[in-house]
Amino acid sequence: MENTFSDSDKKKAIFDAMSPRRQKHILNKMGYDQWDPFEKPKDPIDIRRDKSRRTSQMLVREFLQSRPLDGYSNSYGRGVLDMAMGIVNDDDRYLAMYEFALWHNNLLAEEGHK
């Protein structure tokens, strides 16, 4: 037997089955017409990967393993994690910090400060 319910009928049924509080949230946040109960979920942050197909945790682990054990503090590790997450999420703020660090490193090398 073929399903005779349209998407709008299904949408209404889903909305009507929600609690009044959740309905109000949808109406106030985006409106019923813009609300899409069939939208595909976003990727969880822990499986997002960079261009090398590594997760932020993989990048952090590989980088910190390349450093001397006594060469970094907890604050240093948090900075590495922040950068890795920013790069994996393609966040302009972290990309700018990365590019600036590369530029500054080259500047120091050109001026003989290394």
pLDDT of res. 69: 74
pLDDT of residue 45: 55
Residues 51 and 93 in one domain: yes
Mark whether 87 and 49 lie in a shared domain.
Answer: yes
Residues 31 and 49 in one domain: no
The burial class, CB within 10 Å (0-12 / 13-18 / 19+), for 5 is exposed
pTM: 0.54
Number of domains in the chain: 2
Query: Within the chain, which residues score under 50 in pLDDT?
Result: 1
Closest by CA to 80, choosing from 95, 67, 63, 96, is: 63
- Domain of 16 in residue numbering reads as 1-40
